[in-house]
Structure 1
Amino acid sequence: MDVVVLIGRVLFVVLFFGSAVGHFTQTEAMTGYAQSRGVPAPKAGVLAAGVLMVLGAVSVLLGIWADLGALLLVIVLLPTAFLMHRFWSETDPETKQGEMIHFNKDLALAGASLMLFAFFAHVDELGLTITGPLFHLG
């Protein structure tokens, strides 16, 4: 069972590492997009999101306070969904559909991250982790 959970953690964080790389290698392009969406301090937001994704993904992957790492991912995902992917304000059907897909993906990943938080904070023996949870749910 421990190996299955580890494989799941690896598969889960691949997306966040890839996205974080984009935040750091394509900062200017992402900043322009964030600015076009009305995000305050767009460059700082892009870089902060990249840092939170790396920290959260490393935490979940290695099992270093993985519950906290899962919460860091939620902190990135929810604002991204509502600030960057406002499909309801789009008029072009193709753009609207693309933004809706991204919005729903971010919501689904936030839900999965919340479940991981609860899992890590509730299970006493996590197996194949470096530390135990930071939070303890009954």
Structure 2
Amino acid sequence: MEPEQSLESDQNRTLAKSTRDPPSLLSRILIGGALGYTALKNFRQLDGQIAYAESKGVPYAEMLVPFSSGLLAIGSLGVILWRVPIVATGAIASFLLGVTPIMHDFWNEDDEQQRQVEMYQFVKNVVILGAIIEFLYQGIKQR
């Protein structure tokens, strides 16, 4: 094999490997861990979370709150372990897309302090959604 062919072959292997590498373990632990903690907290405070969802007008809150918390829990574990990443990131994205505009509707708050709290939560969830979309993209590239 000529040196040029060997170099080209090495570059192709490196490029192929880089498209299959998962996101860094640290990023998966940070995002998945934070979301997993949130899911665990939701389960531990289930009655309060259901009451809060009902106060926001969520129909079937007694079923949807545990279901959405389950999506978050399963998704976060899948992200940390990088198992079925498309399903895991899809579960988290579904949670965020469903919960964020309903539960953190800062534009409907009359109290200025509560408006700020809800705006912070809304923006935080949008940022997390951005990271999850990138993880989803990485999962799709690895197929």
> Scaled by the length of structure 1, what TM-score is found?
0.84
Amino acid aligned to 1:74: A
1:56 and 2:75 are equivalent in the alignment: yes
Q: 2:135 — aligned with what?
A: 116
**Pairwise CA distance, 1:3:** 9.3
Alignment-mate amino acid for residue 52 of structure 2: Y
Q: Which runs of 4+ in 1 moved over 6 A?
A: 1-4
For the residue of structure 2 that corresponds to 1:108, the secondary structure is helix
Q: How far is the alpha carbon of 1:46 from its aligned partner?
A: 1.1
Choose the corresponding residue for 2:120, options 96, 101, 107. Answer: 101
Distance 1:3 1:100 in 2: 32
CA contact (8 A) 2:75 2:92 kept: yes
Give the CA RMSD over aligned residues.
1.7
Unpaired runs of at least 5, structure 2: 1-17
Task: Give the whole-Å Cα distance in 2 for the aligned partners of 1:82 and 1:49.
Answer: 14
Structure 1 residue 67: deviation in Å? 2.1
CA contact (8 A) 1:60 1:67 kept: no
Moved more, 62-71 or 95-104: 62-71
Contact 2:39 2:73 in 1 (8 A): yes
Do structure 1's residue 18 and structure 2's residue 37 form an aligned pair?
yes
Q: How far apart are 1:58 and its partner, in Å?
A: 1.1
One-letter code of the match for 2:132? S
- In 1: Cα distance, 2:119 partner to 2:98 partner: 15
| Identity score, percent | 27
Letter in 2 for 1:64: R
Using the TM superposition, give the Cα deviation of residue 22 of structure 1 relative to its aligned residue in structure 2, in angstroms.
Answer: 1.5
Greater C-alpha Rg: 2
TM (norm. structure 2) is 0.81
Partner residue in 2 for 1:67: 86
- Alpha-carbon shift at residue 33 of structure 1 (Å): 0.3
Q: Is the 8 A contact 1:52 1:72 kept in 2?
A: yes
Aligned length: 124
> Which protein has the bigger helix share?
2
- Residue 87 of structure 1 corresponds to 106
